[in-house]
A and B are shown apart, each in its own frame.
Chain A
Amino acid sequence: MRKTAIYLAAMAGVAGQSHAEYKFNLQPPVTPIAHQIYDLHTLILLVCLSIFVLVFSFMFYALYKHRRSAGHKAAQFSQNNTLEIIWTLVPFLILMSVAYPASQTILAMKNTKHADISIKVTGHQWIWEYDYLGEGVRYVSNLSTPRDQIDNKAVKGAHYLLEVDQPLVVPTGKKIRVLLTSMDVIHSWWVPQLGVKQDAIPGFIHDDWFLIEKPGIYRGQCAELCGVGHGFMPIVVQALPPDEYDSWLKDKKSKLTEAAASNAKTYTLAELKTHGEQVYLSRCAMCHQANGLGVAGVFPPLVDGASFSAGPEATAPLVERGFWKNGKVTLGSKEQHLGILMNGISGTAMQPIGQQLTDLDVAAVITYERNNWGNHTGETIQPAEVAAVRKGTPKGASS
């Protein structure tokens, strides 16, 4: 009963929020390029609308006036050279008049020189990582919409699916250059109000730029299909006035130092599990699911004894690491477990996800996985152990 009530409330919430939300045009632009794009779209739309109205007024006139039921007799002409030359040349000239301003904008978009700040953006399945080049500030940005909202068990918030735990923060009035790449598959970094959409391609770096005119929060999404989490990797850019940005950057740096210190501590099993659950739900549950049972045939379960069948290309690396035997998942050693997180399993969707997490995050999530659902190893893994692996063997236990 209660569940139904929540569900209905969630639906009502959706209906309530979505009213008066009919949006017919591009989002309001906040960068010089986005303004140009907006105007170009208006121009080409007006050109197309005028062509459409003009051409089809002839067709509908003919359909009405030259119908047989109105007694119209068919003429038999089938050629008119003048007309044909006109309707070949005129569209050509109209198109040239649009192509000129469009070319100007392309040149402006491609000019990434003389940037004030450079930020490397790396796409991962399914989060964005931001690295402020030269500042030593690097962090990942996760979807922060609770799973219950996605599953219709809770009322959806105003920024459903377009909210993150840590936005990309940039100053206003500065030319920001973004360098895009990816760790796994092709993603696309898109913030409509900034007029930026650039694919993030593994093995290559492409750049783009923007200059935000006024402070605010601008939201976007991944725009290239990148697997099951494609709809769930938003981008949030927060533009601050330059002085506020400076203090944010200072604050961020000191927080990162604190986090590094927390890696040196030793934690209890309970502490690690609590933190590990958060990491698991934001980073692992998309594939392996909140209940650890994975998706049949695609993403293996993490629960000892759970059955999983897939082709040898998926099971062989698991066998090698001691995580699969005779159609069932087994719990391999914690060293191998750590190796998988730090190095991924090449040729599968399992990415070296540990590389984007802090030592504490990795330690916590492994402890959580080994002491949750049907797993009761009682083992803890401490941040120091992760740090040792991270430093020592970049290729890890098993390749």
Chain B
Amino acid sequence: MTTTATLDTHAHARPRGIRRWLTTTNHKDIGTLYLCFSFAMFLFAGSLAMLIRAELFQPGLQFFQPNVFNQLTTMHGLIMIFGAIMPAFVGFANWQIPLMIGAPDMAFPRLNNWSFWLLPMAFLLLIGSLFAPGGAVAGGWTMYPPLYIQGGPGYDMNIFAIHIMGISSIIGSINIITTVFNMRAPGMTLMKMPMFVWTWLITAFLLVAVMPVLASTVTMLLTDRHFGTHFFDAAGGGDPVMFQHLFWFFGHPEVYIMILPAFGILSTIIPTFSRKPLFAYHSMVYATIAIAVLAFTVWAHHMFTVGMPIAGQLFFMYATMLIAVPTGVKVFSWIATMWRGSITFETPMLFSVAVVCLFTIGGLSGLVLAVVPVDIQLQDTYYVVAHFHYVLFSGAAMSIMAGAYYWLPKWTGHMYDEKLGQWHFWLTTIAFNVTFFPMHFTGLAGMPRRIPDYALQFADFNMISSIGSFVLGASQILFLYIVIKCIRGGAPAGARPWEGAETLEWSLPSPLPYHTFEVPPVIK
């Protein structure tokens, strides 16, 4: 009785309602905020994609003039990357890293609150730029000058939004690195950490390394726009291609920032439902580090058509091909984990198996694109659109879905609706492939990306893609329904709903108490 009283005073009666969420320093609350925010952005950016696909349903201009269409594609890209995928993984990190390493919370709880609440401000600016005179950024998420220099005030709003997001990401990453290095339970050595924690640790280093590069690059754009500098203007001694080098020096590691945590989620789920330990844990850790290091050496493969010297093209082609080796190690190890297991197919496992398969398609098309002469034909075509959606939707986004189904019972204390979950899985997977697989063909046949209207020979595949995308979009409403239903009720999950789950969070009750591991667990 007295103990409880002491604990209550210690925890300072928590505020309720909106103040709880504004002032919270609890890693679980902040994780929830991140996940809700990213879900909202996912649906918003997804609906922009529906508008894009509606315009591309048939040749001719039906709904949007090119200026609006270009804003739709640009905003879809920016919001999906910075608003949906990245914050979702930070949400998982906030919930799971303290639980998985036996820490009571993140190392810097107040910074944690700040890093989340910066995000809605950034997106207020970014989405608000749609209503600025001249509209939002319409030059693609890659923001290439000199085109970027031509835009209106919406373009400046975008630059400031990126600054704010960058600060948020850097704070979040420092928090994760410090937490992992300093707050592991006794006995939790680095090489005993769950793969999810490992992948996030490496991701956090990537973020700290490249977000400042992006921030300074967009600042140079800002001064070129308003303060008379000529960093990217040949007329003043600058070089537009230098922007591309700087941007992709951020942009390529960014790709791995969005996929490494997904690898971590897969490496957690696949052993659980195969009822077998993760195959080659050590190699998996080294492969992740290798991917992260190589990520800094391949950026110019996004720029094979800018007129690089032979040595540049050869180097970046070889480096890009090399990155397939550690990525292959990961895929082989997941399959070896399933091999001779005792596999069941709950929704998280279905999503994970699909990710292994579909992500590999994206990886292999990446290998096709790495071959410089072939890339010359495919650069800036729908083939590239197909490639990065196989990596980012069926790689990152579907891993996030897998992770959500996997941990929702732990977070909410309720089981999700398994039947609806499986419906969501099949609808998503089939519609995804109907949408994006034909884009390989339209790209090979010669359709450039980022065009609002196209020649007639591309009409059939575009119609198929559009139909697929509408089903894909609608299926995510079902996902929203399943998540809300699970939060509101459902069969009690119990501490360990997945019999094969081994990580620390499953030793705690579901739903989790507000504070966990106030006394560190002992790791054998």
Q: Which residues of A contact B456 (CB under 8 A)?
A: 14, 17-18, 21, 156, 158, 160
In the complex where A41-B377, A59-B356, A314-B152 touch, is A185 in contact with B146 (Cβ < 8 A)? yes
Contact B444 A24 (CB under 8 A): yes
Contact B240 A202 (CB under 8 A): yes
Contact B377 A298 (CB under 8 A): no
Q: Mark B449-477, 1 if CB is under 8 A from A, else 0.
A: 01111111101110000000000000000
In the complex where A18-B460, A161-B455, A204-B234 touch, is A311 in contact with B152 (Cβ < 8 A)? yes
Q: How many angstroms between the C-alpha atoms of A44 and B338 in the bound complex?
A: 28
Closest chain-B Cβ to A313's Cβ sits at a distance in Å of 8
* Interface residue? B108 (CB, 8 A): no
Contact B150 A40 (CB under 8 A): no
Q: Which residues of B contact A14 (CB under 8 A)?
A: 58-60, 456, 459
Contact A298 B66 (CB under 8 A): no
Q: Mark B323-358, 1 if CB is under 8 A from A, else 0.
A: 011001101100111111111110000000100110
Q: Which residues of B contact A318 (CB under 8 A)?
A: none
Stretch at the interface among A48-56, A273-281, A332-340, A372-380: A48-56
Contact A161 B453 (CB under 8 A): yes
Q: Which residues of A contact B337 (CB under 8 A)?
A: 78
Q: Which residues of A contact B62 (CB under 8 A)?
A: 152
Contact B444 A33 (CB under 8 A): no
Q: Which residue of A lies closest to B450 (CB)?
A: A225
Closest chain-B Cβ to A190's Cβ sits at a distance in Å of 7
Q: Which residue of A lies closest to B318 (CB)?
A: A99
Q: Mark A92-112, 1 if CB is under 8 A from B, else 0.
A: 100100110011011101100
Main secondary structure of the interface of A (DSSP, over half): mixed
Q: Which residues of A contact B278 (CB under 8 A)?
A: 78
In the complex where A10-B60, A21-B460, A225-B450 touch, is A298 in contact with B67 (Cβ < 8 A)? yes
Q: Mark A160-192, 1 if CB is under 8 A from B, else 0.
A: 111000000000000000001000111010101
Q: How many angstroms between the C-alpha atoms of A109 and B313 in the bound complex?
A: 11
* Interface residue? A69 (CB, 8 A): yes
Q: How many angstroms between the C-alpha atoms of A190 and B229 in the bound complex?
A: 32
Q: Which residue of B lies closest to A17 (CB)?
A: B456
In the complex where A14-B59, A44-B374 touch, is A185 in contact with B147 (Cβ < 8 A)? yes
* Interface residue? B39 (CB, 8 A): no
Q: How many angstroms between the C-alpha atoms of A151 and B60 in the bound complex?
A: 6
Contact A62 B65 (CB under 8 A): no
Q: Which residues of A contact B453 (CB under 8 A)?
A: 150, 161, 231-232
Q: Which residues of B contact A114 (CB under 8 A)?
A: none
In the complex where A14-B58, A83-B336 touch, is A66 in contact with B373 (Cβ < 8 A)? no
A337-361 CB contacts (< 8 Å) to partner B: 347-349
* Interface residue? B109 (CB, 8 A): no
* Interface residue? B511 (CB, 8 A): no
Q: Which residue of B lies closest to A309 (CB)?
A: B133
In the complex where A40-B373, A78-B277, A188-B305 touch, is A230 in contact with B328 (Cβ < 8 A)? no
Q: How many angstroms between the C-alpha atoms of A137 and B510 in the bound complex?
A: 78
Contact A19 B377 (CB under 8 A): no
* Interface residue? B314 (CB, 8 A): yes
Q: How many angstroms between the C-alpha atoms of A229 and B448 in the bound complex?
A: 13
* Interface residue? A381 (CB, 8 A): no
Contact A160 B455 (CB under 8 A): yes
In the complex where A24-B441, A78-B276, A227-B147 touch, is A66 in contact with B66 (Cβ < 8 A)? no
Q: Which residue of B lies closest to A51 (CB)?
A: B364
* Interface residue? B372 (CB, 8 A): yes
Q: Which residues of B contact A79 (CB under 8 A)?
A: 279-280
Please tell me which one of the listed residues B150, B241, B283, B445 contacts residue A348 in the complex, with CB atoms under 8 A apart.
Answer: B150
Q: Which residue of B lies closest to A298 (CB)?
A: B134
Q: How many angstroms between the C-alpha atoms of A120 and B135 in the bound complex?
A: 35
Q: Which residues of B contact A212 (CB under 8 A)?
A: none
Q: How many angstroms between the C-alpha atoms of A343 and B133 in the bound complex?
A: 25
Interface centre among A78, A156, A180, by most chain B C-beta atoms within 10 angstroms, is A78
Q: Mark A5-48, 1 if CB is under 8 A from B, else 0.
A: 00000110011011101111111000001001100110011001
* Interface residue? A261 (CB, 8 A): no
Category for how many chain A residues contact B: 35 or more
Please tell me which one of the listed residues B324, B343, B381, B457 contacts residue A95 in the complex, with CB atoms under 8 A apart.
Answer: B324
Please tell me which one of the listed residues B60, B274, B373, B451 contacts residue A105 in the complex, with CB atoms under 8 A apart.
Answer: B373
Q: How many angstroms between the C-alpha atoms of A229 and B150 in the bound complex?
A: 14
Q: Which residues of B contact A196 (CB under 8 A)?
A: 376
* Interface residue? B70 (CB, 8 A): yes
Q: Which residues of A contact B367 (CB under 8 A)?
A: 44, 48, 95
A130-151 CB contacts (< 8 Å) to partner B: 149-151
Please tell me which one of the listed residues B279, B305, B343 contacts residue A199 in the complex, with CB atoms under 8 A apart.
Answer: B305
Q: Which residues of A contact B283 (CB under 8 A)?
A: 84
In the complex where A66-B341, A203-B235, A295-B65 touch, is A110 in contact with B310 (Cβ < 8 A)? yes
Contact A58 B339 (CB under 8 A): yes
* Interface residue? A224 (CB, 8 A): yes
Q: Which residues of B contact A41 (CB under 8 A)?
A: 368, 371, 374, 377, 444
Q: Mark A117-133, 1 if CB is under 8 A from B, else 0.
A: 00000000000000000
Q: How many angstroms between the C-alpha atoms of A244 and B240 in the bound complex?
A: 40
In the complex where A79-B279, A87-B328, A220-B446 touch, is A62 in contact with B341 (Cβ < 8 A)? yes
* Interface residue? B306 (CB, 8 A): yes
Interface centre among B70, B444, B456, by most chain A C-beta atoms within 10 angstroms, is B456
* Interface residue? A391 (CB, 8 A): no
Q: How many angstroms between the C-alpha atoms of A4 and B441 in the bound complex?
A: 33
Q: How many angstroms between the C-alpha atoms of A67 and B239 in the bound complex?
A: 58
* Interface residue? A216 (CB, 8 A): no
Q: How many angstroms between the C-alpha atoms of A23 and B445 in the bound complex?
A: 6
Contact A202 B146 (CB under 8 A): yes
Q: How many angstroms between the C-alpha atoms of A37 and B61 in the bound complex?
A: 33
Q: Which residues of A contact B494 (CB under 8 A)?
A: none
* Interface residue? A297 (CB, 8 A): yes
Q: Which residues of B contact A224 (CB under 8 A)?
A: 144, 305, 380
Q: How many angstroms between the C-alpha atoms of A67 and B441 in the bound complex?
A: 35
* Interface residue? B307 (CB, 8 A): yes
* Interface residue? B317 (CB, 8 A): yes
Closest chain-B Cβ to A132's Cβ sits at a distance in Å of 22
Q: Which residue of A lies closest to B281 (CB)?
A: A78
Extra 13 A-B pairs, beta carbons < 8 Å, given A48-B367, A55-B332: A14-B459, A18-B460, A40-B371, A41-B374, A66-B343, A72-B342, A99-B317, A110-B310, A152-B60, A156-B456, A185-B146, A230-B450, A349-B150
A interface residues (Cβ-Cβ under 8 A, vs B): 10-11, 14-15, 17-19, 21-27, 33, 36-37, 40-41, 44-45, 48, 51-52, 55-56, 58-59, 62-63, 66-69, 72-80, 83-84, 87-88, 91-92, 95, 98-99, 102-103, 105-107, 109-110, 149-152, 156, 158-162, 180, 184-186, 188, 190, 192, 195-199, 201-204, 206, 220-232, 295-298, 309-311, 313-314, 347-349
A–B pairs, 14, beta carbons within 8 Å = A14-B459, A21-B456, A22-B460, A23-B445, A74-B275, A78-B276, A88-B328, A106-B317, A106-B373, A156-B456, A192-B446, A199-B306, A221-B446, A225-B139
**Nearest 6 CB-CB pairs, A to B?**
A203-B234, A206-B307, A231-B451, A297-B133, A18-B459, A74-B342
